[in-house]
Amino acid sequence: MNRKILEVENLKVYFYTYNGVVKAVDGVSFEIYEGEALCLVGETGCGKSVTAKAITKMIRSPGRIVDGKILFNGVDILKLNEDELSRIRGKDITYIYQDPSSALDPLYTAGYHVAETIAVHSIGIKIVNALKKAVELFREVLIPDPESRVKSYPHELSGGMKQRAVIATSIANVPRLIIADEPTTALDVTIQAQILDILKELRYKYNSSVLLITHNLGIVAEMCDKVIVMYAGKIVEKAYTEELFEDPLHPYTKGLLNAVPNPYKKVAYLESIPGVVPDMINIPEGCRFRPRCPYATNRCFIEPKPIEAKPNHYVSCWLVSKGNEI
């Protein structure tokens, strides 16, 4: 069995806004093992990006991590100060964001970003030398003509090329954990497929763990070993990818899987989930999916606890918890 690289326990991130407290992430627990790819899936506002940011304590005011524990390699991240954190960020834990244009500084060349990341985290390496390493890394992410591309400024590169440069930056220090937050949402499908291929290859090469955040279930199926489904700040289901697609237990997961139009299967009618995602300030009582759930009953006014319904398949739903009534 592989070692746990990251353990998140009962993470709570609240945003204190003028309108009220937004409980964006409300008691999320999961772990990532070495070399594993884990997906966080959910719709807009379910708290998946906030969870990812909280892992290196990058929550800005009015947000606050109010509770929980984040253990990275056994170290409690939430107890570290900024200096200690910046030694981890960009080295052991790296991020790839949705929009590569805002991830790169327009005043610096693409190669400089990579070189800077290397130089900052190692003693005695000058940026000039690190630039040579940048060329190699650019070659690794399949940027054509890497020698001249390291000298290009972000505006001279296409979206796909920029995202490759960002990936090169994120692997520069051989990270233990890559957090990719919707890395291909801004890209065209053919480019998306190329970027996903690169990510997959690098992950095996460096044996890095990946936390992939996406709303695209197709990407989940292609990329991940395990999946976590989030809804309104909570984890509703957690399982191995094959298992989750084959036997989804939570009504929300089922609805989500049925709602995706599958290009490989012609269906006469697409099942949709009625209603809308709840307002995060006035969260429904009990199970948060209750107002949209076709199977909701009175006991759903009490919040269900996650249970292991099948081996390694966790779900928070009263439908499944029948046997273990509180």
**Residues in touch with another protein (CB under 8 A):** 43-44, 158, 160-161, 188-194, 196-197, 215-222, 241-242, 245, 255-267, 269-274, 276-277
CA gap 232, 75 in Å, rounded: 28
Residue number, 28 or 198, with CB nearest to another protein: 198
CB of 161 to another protein, least distance (A): 8
Angle between helices 159-171 and 127-140 (to 10 degrees): 120
User: Would strands 75-76 and 234-240 be described as parallel, antiparallel, or unpaired?
Assistant: unpaired
Nearest to 149 by CA among 117, 176, 122, 109: 109
Nearer to another protein, 55 or 195 (CB): 195
Nearer to another protein, 77 or 166 (CB): 166
Rounded Cα–Cα distance for residues 204 and 191 (Å): 20
Structure tokens at 197: 């291929």
206: left (phi over 0), alpha (psi -120 to 50) or beta: alpha
User: In the complex with another protein, which residue's Cβ is closer, 81 or 272?
Assistant: 272
Residue 34 is encoded by which pair of tokens?
């070495």
Bridge partner residues of 76 (DSSP): 71
Burial status of residue 86 (CB atoms within 10 A of its CB: 0-12, 13-18, 19 or more): middle
CB of 183 to another protein, least distance (A): 12
User: Least distance from C-beta 115 to another protein, angstroms?
Assistant: 25
- Taking the complex as a whole, the smallest distance from the CB of residue 323 to another protein amounts, in Å, to 29
105: left (phi over 0), alpha (psi -120 to 50) or beta: beta
Strand partners for 235: 230
Is the CB of 62 or the CB of 275 nearer to another protein? 275
> Minimal distance in Å, beta carbon 271 to another protein?
7
Taking a C-beta distance cutoff of 8 angstroms, is the pair 223, 212 a contact? yes
Residues ≥6 apart with Cβ < 8 Å to 2: 33, 34, 35, 36
Which strand (E) or helix (H) includes residue 184? none
The nearest distance, CB 17 to another protein, in angstroms, is 16
Minimum distance from residue 246 beta carbon to another protein (Å): 8
Identify which of residues 176 and 226 has a Cβ nearer to another protein in the complex.
226
Q: How far is the CB of 157 from another protein (least distance, A)?
A: 10
Contact 210, 178 (CB under 8 A): yes
For residue 3, what are the CA distances in angstroms to 72, 80, 107, 265, 292? 11, 22, 41, 39, 39
User: For residues 211 and 224, which CB has a smaller minimum distance to another protein in the complex?
Assistant: 224
Instruction: State the minimum distance, in angstroms, from the CB of residue 19 to another protein.
Output: 14
Q: Which is nearer to another protein, 46 or 177 (CB)?
A: 46
Q: 174 or 270: whose CB is closer to another protein?
A: 270
**What DSSP character marks residue 2?**
P
